[in-house]
Structure 1
Amino acid sequence: MSAQMKRVMDLSEWEHRWENGRIGFHHLHVHKMLESNIDKILCGRKGVRVFFPLCGKAVDMKWLADMGHSVVGVEISEKAIKQFFEDQNLSYSEELVPDIPGAKVFKSTDGKISLYECDLFKFSSAIAGRFGGIWDRGALVAINPCDRQRYAAIILSLLDKDCRYLLDTLQYNPELYKGPPFFVPDEDVKKLYGKTCDIQLLDSADAFAAKHREWGLDYLIEKVHLLTPKDPVLL
């Protein structure tokens, strides 16, 4: 893990990945673990506001919006955001975000999807309120390991009292691959969120594929945890 702790990617590297089409992390279909556990987020609620940190152009956002929920995402790449709306055949508007210098927000015409082009660490509940659901797939595992405490603090500040936070993590031998995506052990999830949230493992699956062998890995386990606030006062 020590080798990964020293690994730091700046935002420009992620933007270059999008510009160069190096987006192997993007899924063409709704994520199976989200689909099979969506009831754990919604809990029978309608019109849930769901947050997507480091959203890319995830098709999951359109899927939830079509179910009647509203989606807010944060992404550094303008290309990713525009591709999302184009891929989903959605018309949208574009405007500046006064409270974040240089940031923009892209909103679907129907108002169900708002995607902020900005540094996640400059985002806050003052910008877009708090959320009843979070789908964290490809976010915590993409954050530089040295920034995980900062990331968790941002996420916790966005939880509404009834929020259901679905967290997707990856486990493998970190000595064999420098990341990203980064190795996130269960112990780190507990350290980051255990004081303020109840944590439940919902799903665990073998996610190993041919491309992971090319990374030098011999196994890859994908896990999904459900996090729920213990006490609204703590948030």
Structure 2
Amino acid sequence: MLEQQADRVMALGEWEERWQQNKIGFHQPEVHKMLKKNIDKALNGRTGVRFFFPLCGKAVDMKWLADMGHSVVGVEISEKAIRQFFEENNMMYTEEPVPAIPGAKVYKNSEKNISLYQCNLYNFSNSIEGQFGAIWDRASLVAVNPGDREKYAALIISLMANDCRYLLDTLLYNHDLYQGPPFFVPGEQVHSLFGEYYEK
């Protein structure tokens, strides 16, 4: 079932190019329905939760959560996406280098407690921002190269605090007709990647 996409590779430069050319059909202008529907499960009665957004783009979900008093940390390769997030939401931001990640920058809005790192996701680690109480994976697992899924899952698990809730959105489609991304990730693979953390 996964053989057709197993060798498909998207270089980081291709993602940056999509942002530069505004080929961002994956961006949603509204807060994702799945996040809204499952926000109580993600919060689990907690306030001031630290959310992690892998491959965050300029997701409006980040501001929605920040407006509720949660803090947000995202990682995105495209500088354009990060700048657009702050500009389109009329938010001031600072920009500074990240000493622990050569070439990386972090863009911050301290008022809303949002920090977005411009770097390769795999250069990010829990030594940079610690662990998180929630992770919203809207289109990240389905965007990473199929051959990198185990490495991706290991990173996500390392970022989970003991009480972390991981909300994951994947896609089902006929993979014979489309090579991705977004890539096809069947439920059984999600289970094998995340094991004890998995709940349908």
- 2:169 aligns with 168
Which of the two has greater strand per residue? 1
What is the correspondence of 1:70-219 to structure 2 with a 5 Å cutoff?
70-110=71-111, 112-194=113-195, 196-197=196-197, 199-201=198-200
Whole-angstrom CA distance in 2 between matches of 1:36 and 1:120: 27
Helix, strand or coil at the partner of 2:181: coil
CA drift of 1:46 comes to 0.7
Q: Which amino acid in structure 2 is aligned with residue 35 of structure 1?
A: K
1:41 correspondence with 2:42: yes
The RMSD of aligned alpha carbons is 0.7
1:109 and 1:127 map into 2 onto residues whose CA distance is 17
| Cα distance per residue 1:157-185 (max 9 Å; x no partner) | 00000000001100111111000000000
Distance across 2 between alignment mates of 1:123 and 1:193? 19
CA shift, 1:44, in A, is 1.4
Following TM superposition, by how much is the alpha carbon of 1:13 offset from its aligned partner in structure 2, in angstroms? 0.2
- Detail structure 1 runs of 4+ shifted over 6 Å in the superposition: none
1:79–1:151: structure 2 CA closer, same or farther, 3 Å change rule? same
Distance in 1 separating the partners of 2:41 and 2:88: 28
Which one has more relative contact order, counting CA pairs under 8 Å at least 6 apart?
Answer: 2
How far apart, in 2, do the equivalents of 1:109 and 1:46 lie?
18
Q: Deviations over 1:178-204 (max 9, x none)?
A: 00000000011011011x42x222xxx
Rounded to whole Å, the distance in 1 between the matches of 2:67 and 2:45 is 16
Unaligned runs of 5+ in 1: 202-235
Tell me which amino acid in the other structure corresponds to 2:28.
Answer: H
Q: Name the structure 2 match of 1:231.
A: none
Give the letter aligned to residue 104 of structure 2.
A
Matched position secondary structure for 1:90: coil
Match of 2:16 in 1: 15
Q: Distance in 2 between matches of 1:120 and 1:145?
A: 15
**Counterparts of 1:3 and 1:101, CA distance in 2:** 35
1:111 Cα deviation after fit: 5.2
User: Which residue of the partner structure matches residue 53 of structure 1?
Assistant: 54
CA displacement at 1:110 relative to structure 2: 1.1
- Runs of at least 5 residues in structure 2 that lack an aligned partner in the other structure: none
The residue aligned with 1:29 is 30
Give the % identical residues. 65
Task: Return the offset for 1:43.
Answer: 1.0
TM-score (norm 1): 0.84
Query: Scaled by the length of structure 2, what TM-score is found?
Result: 0.98
Contact 1:90 1:109 in 2 (8 A): no
